[in-house]
Amino acid sequence: MGALLRIDQLQIKTRYSFGKPPHRGTGKIINLGEFPMEIEDPQLYSQGTHFMKHFLYILLSLNFWVIFFLPHTTDAQLTGEVIFRHSEFSNELWMINLEAPRTPRRILKHINSIYGLSVQKNGNFLVFLADGIGHTTGVYLLDRMQRRPEARNLTHHHFEEVLDVSISVQGDVALTNMLSDPPEDRGLFLIEKKELKHWQPEVKPLKRGEVFSVDWSPDGTQIAYENNSGIFLFNLLTRKTVRLRSRRGEYFPTFSPNGKYLAFVRKKPSMANQISVISLVTLQTMKTIVPEDHTHIIGFNWSPDGQYIIYTTPGGGKLKKLYHNWAVPLSGGAHQKLLDISKKGVFIFDWTSAVYAVDPTHKLTILWGQLKQQNENR
C-alpha cells in the first residue's frame, strides 16, 4: 500500500483562454504557480520530471481549463458565490463558487454592455444597468434561478441616465437618475417588489434632485445615497432623510452586512482615493484604507461576513491587467489579491448571499433620533 506524499512547490504551466473553449483559445502559456497534489508512491517524488511530463500530458489531453480566484499568495478566507461582469466581454455576466473554484459559468449574454450590478442577498434576483435605445439607460431584472434566465427591462427607456441601482433583500429596487428631461425626473426612485411581476412596473419618486450612488441597508428599511452636498440616509418607513456627512468628494456609501457600519470612497486633493469605514452608532471613523500603489479606487464591496473590503483599481503593468482587485481585512493586515480571473481582474461583482443576520439594535434607533435632531438644528 503506497503512502501519500504532498508535493508543495511544483510549478505547472498550461494553456488556457478564459471565456472560450480550449479549442478556441489563444494557446498562451501561463504559470499557475504552486500546485500541491498527492501521489501514492513516495518514489515518484524523486522522479519529479517524469511525473510532471505525464501529468501535463493528461492536462493538455483533457483540454484542462483552469481558473483560480485566490492566488497561492493570498490568505483571504473568502467563500460563497460571486456574480461578475466578464472582463473581456462586457455584455456577459458569470458566476463562480469560491469554495469550489472551477470554471465559472455564464448566466447571461446581454445585447449591450453592462455597467452596474446588484444581487439580491439570499434571493433569486439581480438587477443591472445597460444602455438602452438612443441615449437612455435600461434597468434590467434577471431571475438567476431560471433554467434559461432572460433579462427584463424595468424602466422601458424612460430614464436618460441611471447612475446606480440596488436591490434589497426583500426585492425592492432603488435607482438614481441624473440627466433627464423633464428635470423633475432626476433623483432617487423606487420600484417595489410587488411591481416586478408587471411588464411595465410603477416607478415611484422618493427624492427629487441630485442623487448619485445608492445602497440598501441589510434589513431593507433604509437607503444610503450621496450627492455633492454629502452622504444621506433615507428611511423608507418614515420617508425622512438625515445627513451623515457634509463633505464633498465622498462617494459610493455602502452598508456593512450587519448594518452597523458604512464604507465610502473619499477623494482627497492631490492624493489617491481612500476608503473610510464609519460606525453608524458613533459616526466615528473606524478604519481608513489606502489602495496599493496609491492609485485610484473605482469600486468596492464588502465580503459576506463583513470581515473584508474588496476594492478595485485600474489595471496596467507588465501583465496588462484591466483591473486589480484587493481584499483588505478589517482587523488589519496586508492587501491580498482576489478575483484574478484570466489575469485581468474584475470590474463589477457582487456576492449572492450574506452571512450576517440583521438585528437592528436600540443604539441604532437612538442614532436615527440624534441624526434627525442634528439636521433640524442646522
Domains detected in the chain: 5-61 (no CATH), 81-376 (2.120.10.30)
At 143, which helix (H) or strand (E)? strand 137-143
DSSP 199: S
Give pLDDT, residue 270: 65
Q: Dihedral sign, CA of 28, 33, 39, 41?
A: positive
Other C-beta atoms lying within 10 Å of the C-beta of residue 65? 17
- Tell me phi and psi for residue 16, to 5 degrees: -160, 160
The rounded distance, in Å, linking the Cα atoms of 343 and 321 is 6
Q: 286: helix, coil or strand? A: strand
The rounded distance, in Å, linking the Cα atoms of 167 and 214 is 10
* DSSP-derived pairing of the beta strands 274-279 and 261-266: antiparallel
The whole-model pTM stands at 0.73
The rounded distance, in Å, linking the Cα atoms of 167 and 175 is 9
pLDDT in tens, the chain (378 residues): 333 333 333 333 333 233 333 333 333 333 333 323 333 333 433 444 444 444 433 333 333 333 333 333 344 567 788 999 998 889 999 998 887 766 788 999 999 999 899 999 999 999 999 987 666 788 999 999 888 889 999 988 788 789 999 999 999 999 998 765 666 678 999 999 999 999 999 999 999 988 999 999 999 999 999 999 999 999 999 999 999 998 888 999 999 999 999 999 998 776 678 999 999 999 999 999 988 777 788 899 999 999 999 999 887 655 556 888 899 999 888 888 877 766 778 889 999 987 765 554 444 443 444 444 445 444
Other C-beta atoms lying within 10 Å of the C-beta of residue 311? 25
- Do residues 161 and 137 touch, judged by C-beta distance below 8 A? yes
Cis peptide before 360 (omega within 30 of 0): no
Give pLDDT, residue 97: 85
Give pLDDT, residue 321: 62
Burial class (CB in 10 A: 0-12, 13-18, 19+), 26: exposed
In DSSP terms, 187 is beta-bridged to 177, 208
- What are the residues whose beta carbons fall under 8 Å from the beta carbon of 374, sequence distance 6 or more? 242, 243
Rounded to 5°, angle at Cα 168 from 167 and 174 = 50
- Do residues 53 and 28 touch, judged by C-beta distance below 8 A? no
